[in-house]
Structure 1
Amino acid sequence: DDVSGLSPGELLAVRSWLAFYGDNYEPVGKLVGRFYDANGTPTEALRQAEAAIEEALRFQAESEQRKQQFPPCNSEWSSAKGSRFWCSRQSGGVNRDWTGVPRKLYRPGSRGSHCVCVRATGPPWDQPDSTEHSDRGDLENPLLEEYEGCHPLAEQCVLTA
């Protein structure tokens, strides 16, 4: 019953499991142990677990917001053609009114990058109402890098080995 080492995704799975049982079964009591004392009072371990779940929910919301800003690219690989990345109005499972261009996204504290679709026109994501911008969407974001050998505004990029 120690949840202190669980990842945010695992904590959200526990939360989902708890919600299922809370919605489908009548409570009959509280188990004395790590989360409740002999009087049925929540322990510090329960408060810490609840705080960790709240943090996981915040992380999930931030991740979803990042996915709206930088949806994952569509991709395919073959030994004959190499890697192909492309953007569409639905790539990454994110429906939107723009297509975007493929870029490498580097996350602070992470190694490596992954392909995302980046809006190439209009104001930056975090300044939607701005009238003073370069009309380059999020292309100037410092966490992004162009794919070498690909046109900067192409909606697809093919990388051969």
Structure 2
Amino acid sequence: MLWRGGRGLLLGLAAAAAAAAAAARWLGWWSGRAGLRLFVPEELARYRGGPGDPGLYLALLGRVYDVSSGRRHYEPGAHYSGFAGRDASRAFVTGDYSEAGLVDDVADLSFSEVLTLQNWLSFYEKNYKFVGRVTGRFYGEDGLPTPALSHVEAMISRGTEAGRRALEEKQMFPPCNAEWRSRRGGRLWCSPESGGVSRDWVGVPRKLYKPGAKEPHCVCVRTTGPPSGQAPGLPVYTNRGDLDHPGLGEYTGCPPLASSCSFLP
């Protein structure tokens, strides 16, 4: 459990918890539902919103939505008309609206890109009517999820967890403010709002070394109180905040407890 001194920490963790809950909700959408309509791709292709077409539908990760209320965006000739009548999940992330890009293959997307798809799912669930599923990559002929969809589920779960950890780290080690001028040199400094993290401490600049990273980056480090991660209720054996974290290093020529470090050009 992290030290709770910062005002932004509770809000940040609440946001992470909300994201995790949202991910669980999205995964729940993909579980079995009775009475859902199943489309084969050839049938869904008829729903492009043209004259004589039975409707205007699109699919995302196998889920089919009626987007008739957004006709001006998806009807023939509109900017997003390529999404109509098919599952073009990949293009929601890549922005490739060519025929080669308007496909449902998302197997090689990154965690952040898959989380972007989750955000799009939220958008369509909120704004359009869910009408069924399209068989193929994400749902079988029985309407149940395929291994490809299970892979997406796993990536969403892992990406959400990675985002939670990154948020916790940012709350623990907010990025420094930085500036560089050719004549005056550079400056790194901390403030109660640096890194976009509102807190009730300022901190001092330190290098944070992360496994796999080529270079350290500047973070602000709390200098008082128990170290982050210390279980509540235990005796405080140090009052140095996170200064003794093994992944940190001092800046040469900068006083150890200075909140601002200047460097000559």
2:136 to 23, 33, 41: 33
RMSD over aligned Cα, in angstroms?
Answer: 1.3
Greater mean alpha carbon deviation, residues 42-51 or residues 120-129:
120-129
Greater mean alpha carbon deviation, residues 55-64 or residues 19-28:
19-28
Greater mean alpha carbon deviation, residues 78-87 or residues 128-137:
128-137
Alpha-carbon distance in structure 1 between the residues aligned to 2:107 and 2:243: 39
1:138-153 alignment, distance < 5 Å: 138-153=242-257
1:83 corresponding residue in structure 2: 186
2:259 to 150, 155, 160: 155
Alpha-carbon distance in structure 2 between the residues aligned to 1:143 and 1:4: 34
2:238 corresponding residue in structure 1: 134
Q: What's the TM-score once normalised by structure 1's chain length?
A: 0.94
Q: CA deviation at 1:133?
A: 2.1
Aligned length: 161
Does structure 1 residue 68 correspond to structure 2 residue 167? no
Alpha-carbon distance in structure 2 between the residues aligned to 1:128 and 1:80: 47
Q: Give ranges in structure 2 of 5+ residues lacking alignment.
A: 1-103
Alpha-carbon distance in structure 2 between the residues aligned to 1:155 and 1:128: 28
Instruction: Provide, for residues 97-140 of structure 1, a one-character-per-residue CA deviation record: whole Å limited to 9, x for no partner.
Output: 11000001011222211100000111101116443322111111
1:41-56 alignment, distance < 5 Å: 41-56=144-159
The answer to whether the 8 Å contact 1:123/1:131 transfers is no
Distance change in 2, residues 1:128/1:86 (3 Å) = farther
The answer to whether the 8 Å contact 1:36/1:42 transfers is yes
Alpha-carbon distance in structure 2 between the residues aligned to 1:148 and 1:58: 35
Q: CA deviation at 1:81?
A: 1.8
Q: What's the TM-score once normalised by structure 2's chain length?
A: 0.58
What amino acid is the match of 1:21?
Y
Greater mean alpha carbon deviation, residues 128-137 or residues 150-159:
128-137
Identity %: 52
Higher helix share goes to which structure?
2
Alpha-carbon distance in structure 1 between the residues aligned to 2:129 and 2:255: 60
Alpha-carbon distance in structure 1 between the residues aligned to 2:140 and 2:128: 22
Alpha-carbon distance in structure 2 between the residues aligned to 1:3 and 1:74: 37
Instruction: Provide, for residues 22-72 of structure 1, a one-character-per-residue CA deviation record: whole Å limited to 9, x for no partner.
Output: 111111221222101122211011011011011000000100000110001
Alpha-carbon distance in structure 1 between the residues aligned to 2:231 and 2:187: 30
2:119 to 11, 16, 26: 16
